[in-house]
Structure 1
Amino acid sequence: MITSSSESQAAAFREGRTPPTEQLDADTVVIAVPTGDPGNSFTLCSVLFGTDGRAIVVDPGTDTPEGREHLLRELRDVGVTTLTGIVVTHLHPDHLGLAGVLREELAAPVLMHRLEDEAAGSTPPGPAELAAALDAWGVPADDTTVRPWSEGAAAPAGHLGDTRADRTLEDGDLLALPGRTIRVIHTPGHTTGHLTLRDEDRGYLFTGDHVLPTIFSGLGLGARTAENPVTAYLSSLERIRVHDGDQVIPGHGFRFTGLAERCDELAAHHLRRADEVRSVLADDPEADVWTIASRIGWSAGWDALTGLLRVSALTQTAWHRARLLQLAD
C-alpha cells in the first residue's frame, strides 16, 4: 500500500503551495524549493550530512529569485557550511537549475551521471530532424497539428542543460560522504542518464522523477538514445522495486512508502498503452505510427493533441510500436 510519510508535504502538494523544511533524522533534511510553476509548485531537495559535518545536496531545484533565496536561507538554517557535492538526478531545470548557484556560493562540485552530462552539452533535434521523423511516422503532408513545428514554427532550445558536471557518476558508485553509504543506481527512462540514490544504511531512496507518488513521469525527455525509453523505464522500475521497505524521497510530491506497489502501478500504466498499440497492430499489422496514435484512447482525446503534445504522443507510440515488434521477433 502506498502511504504518505509526510502529511505536510502531501497537503502542500494538493494545495499547490510550498511545505516547510522537514528533518527526517539528525543527518537528513528535505527542503521544498518553490519552482514558480503552478502545476509543479516545488521540488524536494534533500540534504545529507556526513559525520564530518559536510553535506551533499540532491536536486537543488529551479533557479528563480524566490527559489534561490529560499534554498540558500534554508541551507543556512539547517547548518550547511560546507558541501562535498551537489548531486543532480537528471538535467531538467526544476532539478538542475540551482546547481550552478550552489557551486558558486559554496565551492562545491556538481555531480551527475555521465550520460546526463553528455546530454547537457548536446543540441536537441531541430526542425529538419523532426520533419524526417514525421515522414517516417506517416504524418500526412497537409497536417496542421505538428507539421508547422517541422518548418521552424517553434525553435528548440540550443541545449538541454545550463550546468555541466564537475564529476560524473556511474551505476554502483558510492558517494564520498563519511559515515553514510549512498549508492548510485542508474535508472534511465525519464531521461537517458537519470539516476536514483539509495542510502543503504537508513533505507532512504531518492528517486528524482523516476518514481513519483501520484504523477506518471514522461519518458524520453532528454537526449536521444539508441535504447528504447519504454524498455529502459520498465527495466529501471524492476531494478528498484526490490527496495520496497525503503522510504521514498521523490523529486516532487511527498515522501512515501509502498515502493513496489507504486512501481507496479507505473509499469501497468505504460503496459496498458502497449496493449492499445498491440490491439491496433493485430487489426492492421502494417499500421504506421500516425494511424496507431490516432486510434489510441489518449486522456485528452486525439483531436485535442496539437503541437508538442501531439509530437509527444507520436513519439511514445513509436517507442511502443518498436518495442512490440522487437518482442515479436
Structure 2
Amino acid sequence: MDVGGGVWSVPVPIPGNPLGYTLVYAIESPGGPVLVDAGWNHPDAWLALTDGLAAVGMDVADVRGVVVTHYHPDHSGLAGQVRERSGAWIAMHEADIALVKLFRDVVTDGTHKDFQSDMLRRAGADSHEVAEAVAMRPEPPALPDLALTDRDLIDLPGRRLRTIWTPGHSPGHICLHLEDADRLFTGDHVLPDITPHIGIYPYDRSDVDPLGDFMTSLERVREFGPIEALPAHEARFADVSSRAAEICSHHEEKLEHLRALMAADPQPRTIWELAARMTWNRPWDQLPAMLRGMAAGEAAAHLRTLEVRDVIERTADAPVRFVIHS
C-alpha cells in the first residue's frame, strides 16, 4: 500500500499467529529504500516481502538498510536475509542488541532450556507446564551492524528519520519519527486496537520495571501530539497521542484490578498463581503453554510496578511470592 510521502507498507505474514502479519515499511530515498522492520523468518514471509517490494518497483537487492524497531522475531527475523541479498546494514537499539547477543550465546552453548526451565519453576509453574513451555523457541535474529541510541538520525539520504527510544515492550524498543513528513513509525509501542505484551524475563527480577518504563515512554509519545502513526500491526491511524493516553489508562486499570485481587485474598502468592487468577483473553486453563508463559511475564511486570509503587512486597520464599501491604 502507498501510504504517501514516499512510504510504502508491505504486510508480511506471521505463520500461525493471530496477529496475521507484520507491516514492513519501505521508505524511499535517493540512496535506496530503507526498511522499518523485516518480518518473520519463514519462506512464505520472505516471498511476501520480496513480491511486495517488487509490486511497488523496488528490488530487495537495492535495500540500503533495515531499521529494526525491536528484536522480536516478527520484526527482526528476515533482516539477515535482506542483508545477505543486498549488503544492507541492520540497525537496532543497543539495549536490544545486547539481548540478541545473549540469545545467540545461550542457543550456541545449549543453556537456553535450563535458563527457561529455572525461570518457570521460580515463578511457580509445575513440571508439566515447564516441559511444554521450553519445547518452543524461535531461532535468534541476525546480529545487527549498527547500534542506535535515543535521538540518533538514521542513514536515509535526503530525509530525516530520527530514533525515539521507547522501552517497555522490549528494553531497546524504538519508534521512528519521520521529521520531514511529521509521521511516527510506532513498531509495537502504540497500536490502534490492541496493547503490546509487557513482561519481565526472568519473572522474578527486581532490578527492572518494564511496565513503568512503558508508561513513561507512552507519555513521551503523547508529546508528539495528534500526528499519524504507522504501526507494525493492524493499520495506520490518526492521533498517536490520544491512543497512547488510552493505553496508559488501560494499564492503570489492570494494576488496580490486580491490587484488588490481592487485597481480597491477602496471603502470599506466586507469580504463577496470581497470573492464573488474572483476566486474559481466554480462561487460564485454555491457554497453551507458550501463552501461559507470556501471561506470567505480564503478571510479573504488573506486580513489579506495584512493588515499585510500594503497594506490595515480595517474600524471601522460593519460588518468590508477593503479598499486599496491610
TM-score (norm 1): 0.80
Cα deviation for residue 270 of structure 1 reads 1.7
Partner residue of 1:172? 151
Q: Confirm whether residue 213 of structure 1 aligns to residue 192 of structure 2.
A: yes
User: Which stretches in structure 1 are left out of the alignment for 5+ residues?
Assistant: 1-20, 140-144
Equivalent in the alignment of 2:13:
34
Question: 4+ residue runs of structure 1 moved beyond 6 angstroms?
Answer: 221-225
Q: 1:282 aligns with which of 263, 267, 287?
A: 263
Which one-letter code corresponds to 2:142 in the other structure?
Answer: T
CA contact (8 A) 2:27 2:35 kept: yes
1:62 aligns with 2:43: no
Letter in 2 for 1:169: L
Where does residue 24 of structure 1 map in the other structure? Answer: 4
Residue 165 of structure 1 and its aligned partner are, at CA, apart by: 0.1
- Ranked by relative contact order (alpha carbons within 8 Å, sequence separation 6 or more), the top structure is 1
The number of residues matched between the two structures is 300
Secondary structure at the counterpart of residue 31 of structure 1: strand
Q: Is the 8 A contact 1:55 1:84 kept in 2?
A: yes
Give 2:250's aligned amino acid.
Answer: H
Q: Give, in angstroms, the shift of residue 36 of structure 1.
A: 3.3
Distance 1:218 1:111, change over 3 A: same
| CA pair 31-276 structure 1, distance change in 2 beyond 3 A | same
Q: How has the CA–CA distance of structure 1 residues 36 and 319 changed in structure 2, closer, same or farther, with 3 Å as cutoff?
A: closer
> 1:260, 1:217 → 2: CA distance?
16
Offset of residue 257 of structure 1: 0.5
Q: Match for 1:232: what amino acid? A: D
Contact between 1:192 and 1:222, CA under 8 Å: does it hold in 2? no
C-alpha distance in 2 between matches for 1:201 and 1:286: 55
DSSP 3-state at the match of 1:40: coil
> Share of identical aligned residues, percent?
32
Q: SS at the partner of 1:189? A: coil
Secondary structure, aligned partner of 2:20 = strand
**CA positional deviation for 1:190:** 1.3
1: CA distance, partners of 2:292 / 2:55: 45
- Name the residue aligned to 1:257: 238
Could you tell me which of 55, 58, 80 is aligned with 1:80? 58
Q: Which residue of 2 aligns with 1:309?
A: 291
Sort the Cα spacing of 1:230 and 1:120 in 2 relative to 1 into closer, same or farther, 3 A. same
**Match of residue 197 from structure 1:** 176
* Residues 1:90 and 2:70 are matched in the alignment: yes
Q: Classify the secondary structure of the residue corresponding to 2:98.
A: helix
Deviation for aligned residue 1:191: 1.4
- Structure 1 Cα separation of the partners of residues 164 and 34 of structure 2: 16
8 A Cα contact 2:197 2:298, kept in partner: no
Return closer, same or farther for 1:129/1:101 CA change in 2, 3 Å cut-off.
Answer: closer
8 Å contact from structure 2 (residues 200, 301) kept in 1: no
- Assess, with a 3 A threshold, how the Cα gap between structure 1 residues 148 and 186 changes in structure 2: closer, same or farther: same
- TM-score of the pair, normalised by structure 2: 0.81
Q: 1 CA distance for matches of 2:78 and 2:242? A: 32
* Alignment match of 2:282 (pick from 300, 307, 314): 300
Instruction: Classify 1:32/1:292 alpha carbon distance in 2 versus 1 (closer, same or farther; 3 Å).
Output: closer
Amino acid corresponding to residue 291 of structure 2 in structure 1: L
Question: 1:100-156 CA deviation, whole Å, 9 max, x = no partner?
Answer: 11111111111111111221222378565556555654x3xxxxx743243577335
**Structure 1's 309 and 146: CA in aligned 2 closer, same or farther, altered over 3 A?**
farther
Alignment root-mean-square deviation, CA: 2.8
